[in-house]
Amino acid sequence: MIETYQKVYQNAFGTPALVMDRGEGAYVWDTDGKKHLDLLAGIAVNALGYADPAMVRAIADQAAKLAHVSNFFTTEPQIALAAKLVDLLVGEGGRSGKVFLANSGAEANEGAMKLAMLHKPGGRIIALEGGFHGRTLGALSITHKPAIREPFGQIPGCGFISTDVEALETLGDDVAAIFIEPIQGERGVVPLSPEFLAAARRTADRVGALLVVDEIQTGMGRTGRWFAHTEHIEADVVTLAKGLGGGMPVGAIIATGPAAELFTPGSHGSTFGGNPVVAAASLAVIDRVAGLLENVAETGAWLRQAIENAGFAVRGAGLLLGITVQDAPGLVGQMRERGFIVNATGEDTLRIAPPLIITPTDLEPFVETLRDLRG
Ligand SMILES: Cc1ncc(COP(=O)(O)O)c(C=O)c1O
């Protein structure tokens, strides 16, 4: 099968390590029948693991009823999901909020960039060194890593600053939006400091820019909270994807206050955005994750302590952790041979982002293996 893949699939990802067949809970089986504990969850996507009965039922029921309508019409799941997301972000807090549903994280960020362009026409869009916002041309323009961005150029006006508070102080009135991730996942699970988050909020207010918080990797319960930033700051715009759909392709832009009114008919669109099957799945995910937030916080704290006890430095929050190791890519291969799926962000970080249903009992063998491989 891999030989066929190489013949028929464009080589954007290198050679896949395995052909996956089926999953259940936090475990996935490849086509050779080997069982793996999934500590990556499709890169922070499969919040409920695999084949969650409630999610499967929601998808099947909605598909049997109505799988797609155009945006000339709407559906109950589309409206219910938007209402739920507004409620989770602004709740009773007095701010207003409105949602646009898309199909992926990059697409959610593209939409947020368009909001910035409408908010301050001709203004600059500033993102952070080490940040990742997606691979489409707009989102790529604010994705820092030169190796993946530079071959494709950059939308005029996009630029980067460091994650130091002083860098924010250099920004002026020509800035339309500041894009940040509360924890820079692709950089290697690097949290921004509460001081930086507060300074980003102050700077956005000072220069009249939108503060856009990309919670695509950190949101929807991954850190033990619905959103990783709300403990410290309020955002003008929040983007979501990954865990929101629990494996179904979805992205969301939640805009608050005046930013929620920037799109008018014709400003933006998407054939599949707001798809009722995907929205029904997302609602099922949110419903289940509400009961898992405590598990994320507790199991995350347990795992962090266990990794530290095994002699490794670890950072992150909840069930999004970065472990400092030597030769992370090599370790990923060794782990896979032993039945654990993890991934490397760079040479020295192992990223852990398991399904939110995972328990210490599932994780114990992984910690033991990590200790053994360290020697
Ligand atoms: C913080 C962040 N933003 C955006 C994206 C892009 O999301 P997608 O791959 O769904 O386009 C990612 C994906 O890794 C991400 O981690």
Residue 374 has a pLDDT of: 78
Report which ligand 1 atom has the smallest distance to the Cα of 215.
1
Contact 240, 108 (CB under 8 A): yes
Task: For ligand 1, say whether the CB of 214 is within 6 Å of any of its atoms.
Answer: yes
Residue 375 has a pLDDT of: 63
Task: For ligand 1, say whether the CB of 241 is within 6 Å of any of its atoms.
Answer: yes
Residue 363: which of 339, 344, 346, 345 has the closest Cα?
Answer: 339
What are residue 113's DSSP bridge partners? none
**Which residues lie closer than 8 Å to 137 by C-beta, 6 or more apart?**
152, 155
Mutation choice for ligand 1 from 46, 186, 216, 345, CB with most ligand atoms inside 8 A:
216
Segments in the chain below pLDDT 50 = none
Contact 20, 26 (CB under 8 A): no
Say whether 214 is catalytic. yes
Say whether domain 57-290 belongs to CATH 3.40.1350.10.
no
- Between CA 251 and CA 314 the distance in angstroms is 29
CATH class of 2-52+292-374: alpha beta
Q: Could you tell me the residue ranges of all domains in the chain? A: 2-52+292-374, 57-290
What's the gap in Å between 9 CA and the centre of ligand 1? Answer: 21
Residue 152 has a pLDDT of: 97
